[in-house]
Amino acid sequence: MEYLENIGRAAKSAATQRLSAHTRNTILLESAAALRENACAIIEANLRDVDEATQARMKESFIDRLTLDKRRINIMAEGLEAVATLDDPLGETSQMRSLPNGLMVGQRSVPLGVVCMIYEARPNVTADAYGLAFKSGNAVVLRGGKEALRSNLAIVTVLQDVLERNRLPRAMVQLITETSRDVTTALMKLNQYLDVLIPRGGEGLIRSVVENSTVPVIEAGAGNCHIFVDESADLEMAAAIVVNAKVQRPGVCNACEKLLVHRRLAEKFIPHICDALQENKVEIRGDEAVTSIMGRAVISAEQFDWSTEYLDYIIAIKVVDNISDAIAHIREYSTGHSETIVTESYGNAQRFLDEVDSAVVYVNASTRFTDGFEFGLGAEIGISTQKLHARGPMGLKALTSLKYVIYGSGQIRG
């Protein structure tokens, strides 16, 4: 497909640029300033996307992910500024050692090359992905959701204008504007130009990329996140954590989707947390124990609920007999993203940390903190739920690789 070939070729050429850390940081700061300066134009483009999504009766949580305002654009700019302050991830030589034959062998951090990202209707991701890719010396090709096309194009144009003013290729960041399924499928097979592909979105998108891509994939996986309220939990703390994790932004992957409650707390805690959630317009689906306590105030959970990432004002609640049952349930249904235990028991906290095999595991904190900015990474290109190369929020180091560097003095192999 000529359209993609041209984009891939330009990205591969742009990825050969080798800029000093000072230059990369300066351009990131200029990019942040440009986003603020062009906020009105970006918001105007975004309003057209939001209007279409509203007319199409998209979910409120979807509209929230799609919407930009001056505060969110400022957060995008702050993300670029934060990335500019981070240590340079490139050129560090480590593990240098001398072999018996006199060769000096070490490893040096280098860019991946061309990073491609396929993501859904979150235009803030456009700036985050560019900032991290640029700082780590990569070119980036972006394929955002068609519902955010105008917003993404406005943001990318601002970033490309900054590059051009600095006499750098606009192709260091490119947006796929043809959003048909055929183009996206062809993009997944552009091995000669793309070095890695990162899908970020719902379970369907991620599954499609993993099943169809011939380009190496880092999964920024779905978030069927759990909170377990242990028998020793401070119930006011637990309620605050659950409400924050579910309600603050229900349409994001680190929102809580499932609540597990120790049976000894059920009669006391479940009415309290259900009231607090329903005050925030959350639909509650409960197992038999929950429905026996709450009656018609909740919906009976079906089997599919335990494995579903809602990305909406919905939560499923289950009563468990003990921490062993909670861990077993999480092992069966978790997507490996983020899980929390609320407990005053040191032993149970440590056991939960040891035995729950997710990318991020918390004690007494909201799952909403699973975020590159919150973790001090400046921003993130996604949250990996796989175990190879990168896991959890992916910052600069996740977009670099290592190559061996060898210093010799004329050695030849006998």
| For the chain, domain boundaries | 2-220+399-407, 225-369
CA dihedral 103, 104, 105, 111 (to 10 degrees): -130
Burial 23-36 (b: 16+ CB within 10 A, else e): ebbebbbbbbebbe
Q: pLDDT tens digits, the chain, 414 residues: what are they?
A: 799 999 999 999 999 889 999 999 999 999 999 999 999 999 999 999 999 999 999 988 789 889 999 999 999 999 999 999 999 999 888 899 999 999 999 999 999 999 999 998 889 999 999 999 999 999 999 999 999 999 999 999 999 999 999 999 999 999 999 988 899 999 999 999 999 999 887 778 888 888 899 999 988 778 999 999 999 999 999 999 999 999 999 988 899 999 999 999 999 999 999 999 999 999 999 999 999 999 999 999 999 999 999 989 999 999 999 999 999 999 999 999 999 999 999 999 999 999 999 999 999 999 999 988 788 776 778 888 888 778 888 889 889 999 999 999 999 998
How far is Cα 194 from Cα 185, in angstroms, rounded to an integer?
A: 14
Using the Cα atoms of residue 290, residue 292, residue 294 and residue 296 in order, give the sign of their dihedral: positive
Looking at residue 314, its amino acid is I
DSSP code, position 220: B
pTM for the whole thing?
0.81
- What is the C-alpha separation between 238 and 215, in angstroms, rounded? 43
Give CATH for domain 225-369.
3.40.309.10
Give CA separation, 401 vs 48, 90, 94, 353, in Å: 40, 9, 13, 29
- Helix, strand or coil for residue 382? coil
Bridge partners (DSSP) listed for residue 258: 226, 316
Q: Which of 193, 162, 117 is nearest to 379 (CA)?
A: 117
Distances (CA, A) of 110 to 44, 133, 358: 38, 12, 28
The pLDDT value given to residue 107 = 96
For the chain, the C-alpha Rg in angstroms (whole number) is 23
59 burial via Cβ count (<10 Å: 0-12, 13-18, 19+): middle
Which CATH architecture describes the domain 2-220+399-407?
Answer: 3-Layer(aba) Sandwich (3.40)
Rounded to an integer, what distance in angstroms lies between the CA atom of residue 29 and that of residue 131? Answer: 10
Whole-number pLDDT of residue 252: 86
